[in-house]
Chains A and B, each alone.
Chain A
Amino acid sequence: MRYQFDWSVLWSGQTGQWLLQGISTTLEISVLAWLLAGVLGTLSGALRTAGPRPFSALSAFYVEFFRNVPLLVWMFFWYFGIPLLLPRLAQDWLFAHGAEFWAGMFALGVYHGARFSEVIRSGIQSIPKTQLEAALSTGLTVTQAYRFVIIPIALRLLIPPITNESLNLLKNSSVALTIGVAELTFQTRQIETYTAKAFEALTAGTLIYLVLCLGLSAFMAVLEKRCAIPGLIARVTPAEH
């Protein structure tokens, strides 16, 4: 018996609906995790280069911890482990209100924050120390000098490696399937189970990830052009992992 193609499962009725929901959940979890990773990464990357001793040590610990723990294990930890520490009522409330989404989002954001941190640190360290001194000599505090001078320069230099890490984050959001987040991969698997149209469902999944990632790359390329510092072409290689 030959396999019968039926591409209509991708847009018709219930299954089409699932696919759309999957895309939307993937985008939601990725965007939120990206914001969390961005804040954590920038803060800890900056603190590692200039923070008071306990903070820079804490940031170093953060990075080393996540470099050495698989994302999957960490995600299980947030979903199955962390809620146990909460009072019974809070647990019930969480599981009734999409705990898997929030656990997945936090796990993804914290994990990639550590990777962002390394990128930011290498970027900051590529900026000559005298740039910071120039800012300090005008009376700015270290925090102000970082906020208005060092980090804005670093982020612009770092758009290519940040793009790289952002793509990783987007793709890694599929790991959230393992704790039951109904994101894109989860939904393609569900369509496959429901209709037995594995080829169509997985083709759709593959192509959608491809389009999302290419879209993100294109967006970042435009951003890089728009924010380019005139005359500055220094590039920082992404942190090794």
Chain B
Amino acid sequence: MQNAIDHIVCGAAICKFYTDETLFTVIEFQHVNKWYGSLHVLRDIQLKIERGEVVVVCGPSGSGKSTLIRCINRLEPIQSGEILVDGRQLSDPRLDLRALRTEIGFVFQQFNLYPHMTALHNITLAPMKVKGLARAEAEKFALALLERVGMQDKAGAYPANLSGGQQQRVAIARALAMQPKIMLFDEPTSALDPEMINEVLEVMTNLAKEGMTMAVVTHEMGFARQVAHRVIFMDEGQLIEQESPETFFKAPKSPRTKLFLSKILSH
């Protein structure tokens, strides 16, 4: 009898695991808090990002946007709460951090390409060293990625000889080289001259259309309107508002969001 109950309980647990939203939630913040010394940079963050969802994060400078997304691949540790990526707890001491990071592509504001390597080698490094791909195979894949970001002609160029927009596109290709399930962008167009912003946004828009799960810190409100499924507003480490783009821009609830939007949309 006891045995039968065990079976039922166990069956229910398994059943719960498969039917629960965990299957669709790729990133989850549970009451996350983070401090830099005495500075409370993330305050009780609760957030879920679903598979295939594109989430834009905006907010004033210093509000904790970068910190928020850097926690997702554990570039920054958190002090309390929990973050789950694909159901894995980032606080788990047995977590395979390398495996996790290969599933998450990260694109930086300052590109951070390896200056001593060509565009092609920037992309092949991780597949060769982490996945153990042979050079020929890695290069073939890298060339396909360069084509995807419209940079196939610049495979042999060094970063310093590329424009900002071109460097950022190579950086996106490098992040895609490990075939991640999630892509994180930290102000990918903020360091670019205005005429280069669109070429990068275009690559990102295509990624979104292909169904990539994306969290994008950006102030490009056009991108947020057209591509995002959800817009998140942060201020002073708090997640103030998360809405669909329509609601976010037409009818923001919080006065802080309204103030922010009036500043950023006025020019």
- Does A139 have its Cβ within 8 Å of any Cβ on chain B? yes
A75 to chain B, nearest CB (A): 37
Instruction: Identify B108's interface contact among A133, A156, A229, CB under 8 A.
Output: A133
Which residue of chain B has the shortest Cβ distance to A148 in the bound complex?
B125
Docked complex Cα distance between A141 and B97 (Å): 9
Q: 14 A–B contact pairs at CB < 8 A?
A: A134-B112, A135-B114, A138-B126, A138-B130, A139-B98, A139-B99, A139-B178, A140-B130, A153-B114, A153-B115, A229-B115, A230-B158, A231-B115, A231-B159
Q: Is A54 an interface residue (CB 8 A)?
A: no
Taking the closest CB of chain A, its distance from the CB of B179, in whole angstroms, is: 11
Q: Which A residues lie within 8 Å of B114 (CB)? A: 131, 134-135, 148-149, 153
A148 engages B112 (CB within 8 Å): no
Contact B104 A137 (CB under 8 A): yes
- Known contacts A130-B112, A153-B115; A137 and B73 CB within 8 A of each other: yes
Given A137-B73, A144-B129, A153-B115, answer yes or no on A231-B174 (Cβ-Cβ < 8 Å).
Answer: no
- Closest-by-CB residue of B relative to A138 is B126
Tell whether A89 is near chain B: CB-to-CB under 8 Å: no
- Residue among A128, A140, A152 making CB contact with B116, cutoff 8 Å: A152
Chain B residues with Cβ below 8 Å from A229 are 115-116, 158, 160
> DSSP class of A's interface residues: helix, strand, loop or mixed?
helix
Does A71 make an interface contact (CB < 8 A)?
A: no
Top 5 A-B residue pairs of the complex, sorted by shortest distance between their CB atoms: A231-B160, A134-B112, A138-B126, A139-B102, A137-B106
Known: A140-B126, A231-B160. 4 other contacts (CB 8 A): A130-B110, A137-B101, A139-B178, A140-B129
Please tell me if B75 contacts chain A, counting CB pairs below 8 Å: yes
Residues 132 to 188 of chain A near chain B (Cβ within 8 Å): 133-141, 144, 148-149, 152-153, 156
| Residue in A130, A141, A231 whose CB lies within 8 Å of B98 | A141
Q: Decide if B116 touches A134 in the complex (CB within 8 Å).
A: no
Q: Is the CB of A133 within 8 A of B75?
A: yes
Interface of B is mostly: mixed
Interface status of B206 (Cβ within 8 A of chain A): no
* A1 lies within 8 A of chain B by Cβ: no
Interface residues on B, range: 20 to 34
Q: Does A207 contact B (CB under 8 A)?
A: no
- Given A137-B175, A230-B161, A231-B159, are A128 and B110 also a contact pair (CB < 8 Å)? yes
* A152 surroundings in chain B (CB, below 8 A): 116
Q: Are A232 and B115 in contact (CB under 8 A)?
A: yes
Q: Which residues of B contact A141 (CB under 8 A)?
A: 98
CB distance from A236 to the nearest CB of B (A): 15
Nearest-CB residue, chain A, relative to B116: A229
**Interface hits, B113-139 → A, CB 8 Å:** 113-116, 125-126, 129-130
Chain A: CB-nearest residue to B75: A133
User: Per-position contact with A for B153-187: 1 when CB-CB < 8 Å, else 0?
Assistant: 00000111100000000010011011000000000
Check B126–A231 contact: CB distance below 8 A. Answer: no
- Collect the chain B residues with CB atoms within 8 Å of residue A138's CB: 101-102, 105, 125-126, 130, 174-175, 177-178
Given the complex of chains A and B, what is the CA–CA distance between A131 and B114 in angstroms?
A: 7
Asked whether A134 lies within 8 Å of B106 as measured between CB atoms, the reply is yes
Distance, CA A74 to CA B125, complexed state (A): 43
Q: Which residues of B contact A134 (CB under 8 A)?
A: 106, 108, 112-114, 171
- CB distance A232 to B160 under 8 Å? yes
List the A side residues contacting B73 at CB < 8 Å: 137
CA distance in complex: A152, B178 (Å): 23
In the bound complex, residues from chain B placing their C-beta under 8 Å from that of A148 are 114, 125, 129
